[in-house]
Amino acid sequence: MEGVEAFLFFLALRGEAKREEVRARFPRLAPLLKALGGAAEVQGETFRLAKPLRLSWFAPLFRARYSPLLPEDERALALERLVEAAFRSAEAGEPLVDGEGLLKAARLFQAGSQALLKGNHRKALHRFGEALGLLEKEGLPFPAAALALLALAQEGFRPGGKGKETVRKALKRAKTPFAREVAARLLQATEKGGASP
Tens-place pLDDT, residues 71-101: 999 999 999 999 999 999 999 999 999 999 9
Supply the pLDDT for residue 193. 59
pTM (two decimals): 0.92
The set of residues, in sequence order, having a beta carbon less than 8 Å from that of 184 and lying 6+ positions away, is 171
pLDDT at 34: 87
Contacts of 72 (CB under 8 A, 6+ apart): none
Find the mean pLDDT for residues 163-169.
94
93-97: long-range pairs with CB below 8 Å, 24+: 94/54, 94/55, 94/56, 97/55, 97/56, 97/59
Q: Does residue 194 have a pLDDT over 70? A: no
| Right CATH for 68-193 from 3.90.1150.10, 3.30.200.20, 1.25.40.10, 3.40.50.920 | 1.25.40.10
Residue 149 in this model has a pLDDT that exceeds 60: yes
Nearest to 128 by CA among 164, 168, 157: 157
pLDDT at 195: 45
Q: What's the pLDDT score for residue 1? A: 39
The alpha-carbon radius of gyration of the chain (Å, integer) is 17
Whether 189 shows a pLDDT value over 50: the answer reads yes
Confidence check: pLDDT of 161 > 70: yes
Kindly report the average pLDDT of the chain as a whole number. 92
Q: Where in the chain is the domain with CATH 1.25.40.10?
A: 68-193
Whether 51 shows a pLDDT value over 50: the answer reads: yes
pLDDT tens digits, one per residue of 15-50: 999 999 999 999 988 888 888 888 889 899 999 999
